[in-house]
Amino acid sequence: MPRSPHAPRFASAPLAALGLVLGVGLPACGTDGLESATSLDPPEDSYDPSNGFPMSGTGTGTGTGGTEGSTGDDGPPPPPPAEGAWDWRDAIIYFVFVDRFENGDDTNDGKIGAPVADIADWYGGDWQGVIDRIEEGYFNELGVNTLWVTVPMDNTSSAGQGVGETRMYAGYHGYWPADLESPEEHFGTLEKLQELVTVAHDHELKVIFDYAMNHVHEDSPVYQDNPGWFWPNDNGFGGDCVCGSGCSWNGDEGRRCWFTDYLPDFNFTNAEARAFSVDNAVWWAQQAGADGFRLDAVKHIEDGWLLDLRARANDELDQYGDEGELVQRFYMVGETFTGSQGEIAYYVREDMLDGQFDFPLRAQIVEKVLMRQGSMGDLAGFMDGNDGFYWSGAVMSTFIGNHDLPRVVHYAEDAPRSGTDPWWNDKELGWSNPPSVPAGTSAFERLVVGFGILLTTPGAPLIYYGDEIGMAGAGDPDNRRPMDWNTGGYTGGQQLLLDAIKALTTTRAAHPALRYGTRATLSSGFDTMAYSMTLAVGDPALDEVVYVVLNRGDGPADVGGVPDGSYTDALGGEAVMVSGGTVSVPTRWLRVLVRPE
């Protein structure tokens, strides 16, 4: 039977076969194994199955620093979805960092303790806590409709030394997987994860899982029983091949280096290793009914893994209606931490990733809007080039804050802690002098403008937990403080930001042009910018033009480019008259103008 968009996919899985490969006892949950996976691989002329690299005509195979952009077509954006179908351009994503979000079940708590400092240890957040917040309506009220949750696999119970430092950390973040077929016991059981997805779907929320495929922890039976599936920690010159120490983070070395000396790196040129890992990813999606994956460290793996997973997802994870029509594509969004558009675009293609996190756009918004470096005209020029840069079917995830960089509010302070660097990442500050929530409202008003761009332009905008209230924090792990649920203690600036984000998400949901439309810059200046979002598909119920007018300046501004006439500011319902080609925009604010009905 075709799956409905919200049907649970608690499928029998190839655990028995995986257990045979690993040499460990696992419950028999299915009869199909690694052999069945190979029949679903892409055609042999698309990549070399012996090593996972593309054949001629499908890309360079390096995935590191390509400049040709996407290998997909360069046509116009797809039309709006058919009735009853889900389009990932409708997604507003919220990253639930599970351990730091909400403790709903204290029976699964447990810290490592000394020598791990409290800030680097487990805090007790779990899947029950996420369920509780879903059921109380937090996400629906915020206006998000997609939850990205931490890697569900069981992590090591050991502490690990931080990269380039002597401090010790727990695996609370999910990126040190050890038992790849078991759920993280600090988060709950597999049944609890299934419940989370079911409850989310009942509340009209999609769920995407973080998935870490590049490496495992050295404690993992996968590594201990199959060392030949992993690159040796050897740079060929008598030293270790650790990323940034002995080997480079980039190029061929970037795909085989170990992130640390306790995280063995999968060698996906090994067909058996690749098949095992892809099977595992599909199993997690099927067992819990996930709607997509956020894929970690994409540039550090071989291309064949992505090609294999996309092919399997097309056959086993995409969802179809009663007439055989596609109603929901399994979303695959990647993380390639770089400022290079070409390197990011390399992976964004129909047979690999639906999109990636738009780090270059994030840097531009942070630099121009929050830090006030350069002009809004510079930002407009970048956005003009960024529009259409990726495959026309791409759904890039746009963002200004995440778990690997300091909290975004500190870039927006009157005197930004970041100075002039949008990639500023001061981890030591979190240990020596953790920053506080900024006083006043100016930083929060700048964040409104930044989030305003995300929520009025194409893509799947992301909110990192706590950024909706401007939570404080320096670099990792200080940027992962427990979620602040003390709503009565929010400052005026925090409440202003939260209310504005709710207004922006509501506006995005109400206006198809903001999700499916084409952006065009209308004007730009030192502190201001105006653009239109136009949807013209011949459907009176959808066709519209929305005008977005931004002012990062410390005083009100008259902004040109919007046609004269009467409008409604969708953010607050205010009637706005544009006369003489200009519209007044308040200090550090934006207007989203629509024609009155």
pLDDT tens-digit map of 259-295 = 999 999 999 999 999 999 999 999 999 999 999 999 9
Place of tokens 């460990």: 24
pLDDT at 27: 28
Query: What is the DSSP code string of 87-126?
Result: -GGG--EEEE-GGGT----GGG-----TTS-GGGS-----
Say which amino acid occupies 84.
G
pLDDT-wise least confident of 12-16, 97-101, 329-333, 482-486:
12-16
Please say whether the structural domain 518-594 has been given the CATH code 3.50.50.60: no
pLDDT at 77: 87
Burial of 484 (0-12, 13-18, 19+ CB in 10 A): middle
Task: Please report, for the chain, the start and end positions of each structural domain, with discontinuous segments joined by +.
Answer: 15-213+265-510, 518-594
Picking from 554, 428, 456, the residue whose alpha carbon sits closest to that of residue 512 is 456
Highest averaged pLDDT of the listed ranges 21-30, 158-167, 523-532: 523-532
Picking from 244, 242, 236, 235, the residue whose alpha carbon sits closest to that of residue 265 is 242
- What is the C-alpha separation between 126 and 176, in angstroms, rounded? 17
Query: Is residue 52's pLDDT more than 50?
Result: no
User: Mean pLDDT over residues 53-76, rounded?
Assistant: 41
Please check whether residue 448 is in contact with residue 370, taking contact to mean a CB–CB distance below 8 angstroms: no
Please check whether residue 75 is in contact with residue 392, taking contact to mean a CB–CB distance below 8 angstroms: yes
Query: Is residue 351's pLDDT more than 50?
Result: yes
Count of CB atoms situated within 10 Å of the CB of 201: 19
pLDDT tens-digit map of 179-189 = 999 999 999 99
pLDDT at 74: 63
- What is the C-alpha separation between 586 and 567, in angstroms, rounded? 16
327: helix, strand or coil:
strand
pLDDT tens-digit map of 419-450 = 999 999 999 999 999 999 999 999 999 999 99
Helices (H), 236-353: 251-256, 271-288, 303-316, 341-345
Give exposure, 557-584, as e/b (b: 16+ Cβ within 10 Å). bebbbbeeeebbbbbeeeebebeeebbe
- What is the C-alpha separation between 400 and 365, in angstroms, rounded? 7
C-alpha distances (whole Å) from 277 to each of 306, 309, 348 are 11, 9, 21
Count of CB atoms situated within 10 Å of the CB of 489: 9
pLDDT tens-digit map of 15-35 = 333 333 333 332 223 322 222
Count of CB atoms situated within 10 Å of the CB of 284: 22
Structure-token pair, residue 533: 């979002």
Per cent of the chain over pLDDT 70 is 88
Helices (H), 488-581: 492-510, 513-516
- What is the C-alpha separation between 481 and 2, in angstroms, rounded? 42
Strands 206-211 and 518-524: unpaired
Place of tokens 């010790």: 168
Query: Which one is predicted more confidently, 48 or 231?
Result: 231
- What is the C-alpha separation between 150 and 158, in angstroms, rounded? 19
pLDDT tens-digit map of 458-488 = 999 999 999 999 999 999 999 999 999 999 9
Count of CB atoms situated within 10 Å of the CB of 269: 18
pLDDT at 503: 99
Phi/psi for 248 (5° steps) reads -80, 155
Segment holding 140, helix H or strand E? helix 138-142
Sign, CA torsion 92/377/341/516: positive
What residues pair up with 578 in beta bridges, in sequence order?
A: 565
pLDDT at 358: 99
| Residue 388, C-beta contacts closer than 8 angstroms, at least 6 positions apart | 74
Sign, CA torsion 91/97/103/109: positive
What residues pair up with 404 in beta bridges, in sequence order?
A: none
For residue 541, name the pLDDT band (cuts at 50, 70, 90): confident
Burial of 361 (0-12, 13-18, 19+ CB in 10 A): buried
Query: Which one is predicted more confidently, 22 or 195?
Result: 195
Sign, CA torsion 229/231/234/237: positive
81: helix, strand or coil:
coil
Q: What DSSP character marks residue 150?
A: -
Query: Is residue 67's pLDDT more than 50?
Result: no
Please check whether residue 513 is in contact with residue 533, taking contact to mean a CB–CB distance below 8 angstroms: yes
Query: Is residue 14's pLDDT more than 80?
Result: no
pLDDT at 73: 52
User: Mean pLDDT over residues 115-135, rounded?
Assistant: 98
- What is the C-alpha separation between 124 and 100, in angstroms, rounded? 7
Please check whether residue 271 is in contact with residue 49, taking contact to mean a CB–CB distance below 8 angstroms: yes
Query: Is residue 597's pLDDT more than 70?
Result: yes
Place of tokens 């009942």: 202
In three state form, how does the secondary structure of 526-539 look? CCEEEEEEEECCCC
- What is the C-alpha separation between 597 and 212, in angstroms, rounded? 48
180: helix, strand or coil:
strand
User: Mean pLDDT over residues 400-412, rounded?
Assistant: 98
| Residue 356, C-beta contacts closer than 8 angstroms, at least 6 positions apart | 298, 333, 334, 335, 336, 344, 347, 348, 396, 397
Please check whether residue 51 is in contact with residue 302, taking contact to mean a CB–CB distance below 8 angstroms: yes
User: Mean pLDDT over residues 72-92, rounded?
Assistant: 88
Picking from 266, 264, 335, 260, the residue whose alpha carbon sits closest to that of residue 297 is 335
Asked whether the whole model's pTM tops 0.95, one would answer: no
Overall residue count recorded for the chain in this entry? 597
Structure-token pair, residue 160: 């690990």
Phi/psi for 222 (5° steps) reads -60, -45
C-alpha distances (whole Å) from 426 to each of 83, 366, 408, 417, 432 are 47, 16, 12, 9, 11
- What is the C-alpha separation between 587 and 553, in angstroms, rounded? 6
- What is the C-alpha separation between 484 and 495, in angstroms, rounded? 12
User: Mean pLDDT over residues 330-336, rounded?
Assistant: 99
- What is the C-alpha separation between 32 and 15, in angstroms, rounded? 9
585: helix, strand or coil:
strand
CATH H-level, domain 15-213+265-510: superfamily: Glycosidases (3.20.20.80)
